[in-house]
Amino acid sequence: MAGDALIDVLVVGSGAAGLAAAVAAGHAGARVAVATKTTLQACNSAKAQGGIQAAFGEDDSPELHAEDVMRSSHSTADPRLVEVLTSDARDAIAWLEAQSCAFTRENGGYRLARCGGASRKRLLQVGDRTGHAITKALRDSFGAGDGAILAHHRLTCLEPISTGWRASFETPEARAEVETATVVLASGGRCFAEAENRGEFSTNHPNATGETTRIAADAGAETRDLDALQYHPNGGAWPATMQGYSIPETTRAYGAVLLNVEGDEFTDSLGPRDEVSQAIFDEIEAGRGVLTEDGRPAVWLDTTRIAPEDAVISLPYMLRRYRGGGIDPLTERILTYPVLHYQNGGLVIDTNAETTLAGVFACGEIAGGTHGRNRMMGNSLLECVVFGRRAGTHAATKAKA
């Protein structure tokens, strides 16, 4: 494909954001290629369990959703991006359903849960494999079109040319170059690499190394809040096979609470993520933590308070994982400790998902602003779909202009 002039939109990354952008650009009539570091399936998005937010409850609205995002971000999010995120949410869910993603339903509507920092029940789920379901539906949709797939293409450089952009890649065979009118960067965050540097656990896929952010910044793109990394309050701490696993926040949505060594609740278990993580760190610092069998600090997550019927519908994968490790979360408490999880900041974008470089779009975890310095659970998958669609559509329009 070196020097191939038949590309309108080049998408870099095959998580939920890249796939949503690629499908949307294809629908807008563009000739699309998706380049991705390893396989099409490899990404953080497919690991997402809990769900995706959208204001469907009778007592809910996009405005209340936006208020929750701003409050959880401590007013550091960009209100224009938040307005887009929350007001496009219901349409994004309908669009996913049109790509054959089937959300869990009950009583004639969606099964909704309340996630940390939310004032209403707003989290749609597909069991506890929501990211898997969304990425599979989008991969199938993209595969049904005539877009090209460049697997095992790792982006190494991006440079402007008279007709748009030239992207350079490392492949197992040799270097490759692709010329394109517009680019959508959807290469995710950097928490796997960051955790390795810190000697900590991470929930992330090994491909989450963040080099694309640096490549875009080197090309002149503005960034924001890059230092704001998020700890998921509930990493698995024991058994060893669960270390680095992100215990879905839906455990707490369905009644699990955090307890210290004395069995006392020490924080609002459904507070914003940064506050819950900090409360755990503080409790352990104050000597009220629990030690795991291999001597690591932890606190209890009392999952025995979850009703079995909720767990069967919304936490089957988590139950299977723990029971496989010899612990039944419905009859005994589990040990947890915060784990490096998400890059809150990233490339600056506008409401069309265009970066400060003309013709370079960004969506998903690589983009900053939508969550400010503290993301709410369930808003990342939403951001991938809402801004992925915008990025793909506007990149296609610009490419053909």
Ligand X SMILES: Cc1cc2nc3c(=O)[nH]c(=O)nc-3n(C[C@H](O)[C@H](O)[C@H](O)COP(=O)(O)OP(=O)(O)OC[C@H]3O[C@@H](n4cnc5c(N)ncnc54)[C@H](O)[C@@H]3O)c2cc1C
The residues that are catalytic are 273
Q: Which helix (H) or strand (E) holds 10?
A: strand 9-12
Q: Which of 212, 303 has the CB closer to ligand X?
A: 212
Helix or strand holding residue 179 (H, E):
strand 175-180
Provide the CA 390 distance to its chain's centre, in angstroms.
17
- Residue 52 in contact with ligand X, rule: CB under 6 A: yes
Query: Does 12 engage in binding with ligand X (CB under 6 A)?
Result: yes
Contact at 8 Å (CB) between 298 and 237?
Answer: yes
Strand-pair partners of 202: 340
User: Nearer Cβ to ligand X, position 36 or 72?
Assistant: 36
CA–CA distance, 121 with 162 (Å, rounded to integer): 49
Applying CB under 6 A, the span of 218-226, 294-302, 328-336, 374-382 interacting with ligand X comes to 374-382
CA 249 to CA 246: how far, in whole Å?
A: 8
CB of 343 to ligand X, least distance (A): 8
Among 117, 127, 131, 329, binds ligand X (CB under 6 A): 131
Q: Which of 9, 11, 15, 279 binds ligand X (CB under 6 A)?
A: 15
- Tell me if 364 contacts ligand X by CB under 6 A: yes
Q: Is 353 in the site for ligand X (CB under 6 A)?
A: no
- Which residues does residue 223 pair with via DSSP β-bridges, in sequence order? 347
For 372, half-sphere exposure in the C-beta direction (CA atoms, 13 angstrom radius) is: 20
Site string for ligand X, 380-399 (x = CB under 6 A): xx--x---------------
Burial class (CB in 10 A: 0-12, 13-18, 19+), 215: buried
Amino acid at 16: A
Q: How far apart are CA 5 and CA 12, in angstroms?
A: 17
DSSP single-letter state for residue 376: P
Q: Does 212 bind ligand X (CB under 6 A)?
A: yes
> Nearest approach, Cβ of 263 to ligand X (angstroms)?
28
Rounded least distance, CB 14 to ligand X, Å? 4
Query: Can you tell me which of 180, 182, 203, 314 binds ligand X, judged by CB under 6 A?
Result: 203
Q: Residues 6 or more apart from 238 whose CB is under 8 A from it? A: 292, 293, 294, 296, 298, 334, 335
Q: Residue 48 interacts with ligand X (CB under 6 A)?
A: yes
Binding mask 156-195 for ligand X (x = CB under 6 A): ------------------------------xxx-------
Q: How many residues contact ligand X, by CB under 6 A?
A: 45
Candidate list 7, 8, 9, 18; residue touching ligand X; CB under 6 A: 18
SS3 for 334?
A: strand
Q: Which of residues 226-285 bind ligand X (CB under 6 A)?
A: 246
Q: Which residues bind ligand X (CB under 6 A)?
A: 12-18, 35-38, 42-45, 47-52, 130-131, 154-155, 186-188, 203-204, 207-208, 211-212, 246, 342, 364-366, 377-381, 384
